[in-house]
Amino acid sequence: MAEIDKIAAELRPRSGKSSARAARRAGQIPGVLYGGEGPPLAIALNRRELDRELAKGRFSTRLLDLEVDGKVERVLPREVQFHVVTDQPLHADFMRLTAGASVTVMVPVHFVNEVDSPGIKLGGVLNVVRHRVEFRCRADQIPEFITVDLAGRAIGDSIHISAVKLPEGVTPTITDRDFTIATIAAPTLKLEIETPAAAAVTPEAAAAATPAPAAPGKG
Amino acid sequence: MLQPNRTKYRKAFKGRIHGNAKGATSLNFGAFGLKAMEPERVSARQLEAARRAIVRHMKRQGKMWIRVFPDVPVSKKPTEVRMGKGKGTPELWVVRVKPGRILFELDGVSPAVAKEACELGAAKLPIACKFIVRPTEA
């Protein structure tokens, strides 16, 4: 098992938006620690430390040791919220893990042997349907990634979960069907030559094509 | 150019664009994308210009997705017409874009080509945009 990183946090005195905003003003990232046997705790993380862990990748499938006021707990990050414009982290959720706990995690998919795929050689595009797949497994056996072999795949082929060799003890949460992970599609990009007829379509023409609106009904 | 096939009403209010995008703020399909940083009405013509710039730079490789659709009609009065006498005729279709909205997604090309293509596409749009990459998973 990979080395477990340690991340420090402070207790926040209160929960709620005012406390979260105060933490952000102080250069910290508000978060919450829940699950296991302890009570849910409002915490604040060091922004730089969290950024460093996020940059390492696989943040949501890696176990961490979270030190809150001197007490170290084994946790699994469950969610990080990001600002929609700046993409800076706004909040982080951590779940306490108990011994032998099983968890549901989203595991990234890696694709190998793209050069051995006749479909991709012919200009096909690997269309990834699921960049991550949800699995249920023990917390200490979370796979880093699952590998999909593209060797011998032609344009039009679909790669389903049944074609992927999964580690022992790891089961997909979707069990009712053999779901698709990726397909090899023909390239859809074309350098189109604009036709005069296509260019002449205006909103006025589209409006003319619309049926008369129904009689307004009130109440 | 993108436009609705049929609409319930011919003309729409101008409206105002408030706040940040609530949906379509992260990549859903491709590995790269172009994210709006400012609020603005983007016309179908501008979107088409951006799409062409991106596609041409990708040179028939890869795949792209357009995550917005211009479905708001904008009306204009003819030149040298006095004010009043009703609203003008619909002239163009726009999409109201909020900051944080993903406009285009790309996949199947190298990061360098995707970045250059997105920069060329962003130059055709009336708003500041940024190039985004799917976060590393491993």
pLDDT, tens digit, 9 for 90 and up, residues A116-167: 889 888 888 888 899 899 999 998 889 988 999 999 999 999 999 999 999 8
Inspect the interface and report whether the beta carbons of B6 and A125 lie closer than 8 Å: no
pLDDT at A196 over 90: no
pLDDT at A29 over 80: yes
Inspect the interface and report whether the beta carbons of A58 and B138 lie closer than 8 Å: yes
Rg (CA), chain A: 25
Which chain B residues touch A85 with a CB distance below 8 Å?
A: 20, 35, 37, 99-100
Inspect the interface and report whether the beta carbons of A203 and B3 lie closer than 8 Å: yes
Which region holds residue A35: left if phi is over 0, alpha if psi is between -120 and 50, else beta?
A: left
* Secondary structure letter of residue B43 according to DSSP: E
A212 pLDDT band, cuts 50/70/90, is very low
pLDDT at position A8 is: 92
Residue reference for tokens 């706990």? A101
Please name which of A28, A185, A22 lies closest in space to residue A119, comparing C-alpha atoms.
A185
Residues B117 and B27 sit within 8 Å (Cβ to Cβ): no
Chain A residues within 8 Å of chain B (Cβ atoms): 54, 57-58, 83-85, 87, 108, 110, 123, 125-128, 131-132, 144-145, 185, 187-191, 198, 201-204, 206-207, 209-211, 213
pLDDT at position A120 is: 87
Shortest CA gap B128–chain A (Å) = 11
User: Which of B10, B25, B61 lies nearest to residue A187, judging by beta carbons?
Assistant: B61
pLDDT at position A215 is: 40
Least-confidence region, from A213-217, B41-45, B132-136? A213-217
* CATH 3.40.640.10, applies to B41-75+88-133: no
pLDDT at B66 over 90: yes
Beta-strand pair A102-112/A146-149: parallel
Shortest CA gap B68–chain A (Å) = 16
pLDDT at B62 over 90: no
Query: What strand order describes the sheet that includes B72-76?
Result: B40-43, B89-97, B72-76
Shortest CA gap B78–chain A (Å) = 14
Residues B78 and B88 sit within 8 Å (Cβ to Cβ): yes
Which chain A residues touch B55 with a CB distance below 8 Å?
A: 189-191
Nearest CA in chain B to A122: B61
Residue reference for tokens 């905003």? A21
Interface ipTM = 0.88
A173 pLDDT band, cuts 50/70/90, is very high
Domain A103-185 CATH (choose: 2.170.120.20, 2.170.190.11, 2.70.70.10, 3.40.50.1980): 2.170.120.20
Q: How far apart are CA B30 and CA B108, in angstroms?
A: 8
pLDDT at position A200 is: 44
Average pLDDT over residues A39-61: 91
Residue boundaries of the structural domains of chain A? 5-98, 103-185
Residues B92 and B44 sit within 8 Å (Cβ to Cβ): yes
Average pLDDT score over chain B: 94
pLDDT at A210 over 80: no
Helical packing angle, B111-122 and B44-58, nearest 10°: 150
A67 pLDDT band, cuts 50/70/90, is very high
Q: What tokens were used for B5?
A: 């096939």
Q: Chain B 20-49, CB below 8 Å of chain A: which residues?
A: 20-22, 25, 35, 37
Beta-strand pair A28-34/A89-96: parallel
Average pLDDT score over chain A: 84
Inspect the interface and report whether the beta carbons of A187 and B5 lie closer than 8 Å: no
CATH topology assigned to domain A5-98: Ribosomal Protein L25; Chain P (2.40.240)
Nearest CA in chain A to B8: A213
The reply to whether B76 touches chain A by the CB within 8 Å rule is no
Quick one: which H or E segment has residue A79? strand A71-82
Half-sphere exposure of B87 (CA within 13 A, CB side): 11
**Count of CB contacts below 8 A, A vs B?**
96
Average pLDDT over residues B108-113: 91
Query: Per-residue pLDDT tens for A86-96?
Result: 999 999 999 99
Highest mean pLDDT among A118-132, A184-198, B70-84: B70-84
Question: Exposed, middle or buried: residue B117 (CB in 10 Å: 0-12, 13-18, 19+)?
Answer: buried
Instruction: Please list, in sequence order, all residues whose beta carbon lies within 8 angstroms of the beta carbon of residue A5, skipping any fewer than 6 positions away.
Output: A53, A56, A62, A64, A65
Instruction: Compute CA distances B135 → A105, A108, B20, B30, whole Å.
Output: 17, 11, 21, 12
pLDDT at position B119 is: 97
Show the DSSP H helices in chain A as ranges.
17-25, 47-55, 118-121, 196-199, 203-209
Q: How far apart are CA B81 and CA B90, in angstroms?
A: 16
User: Which of B7, B55, B134 lies nearest to residue A191, judging by beta carbons?
Assistant: B55
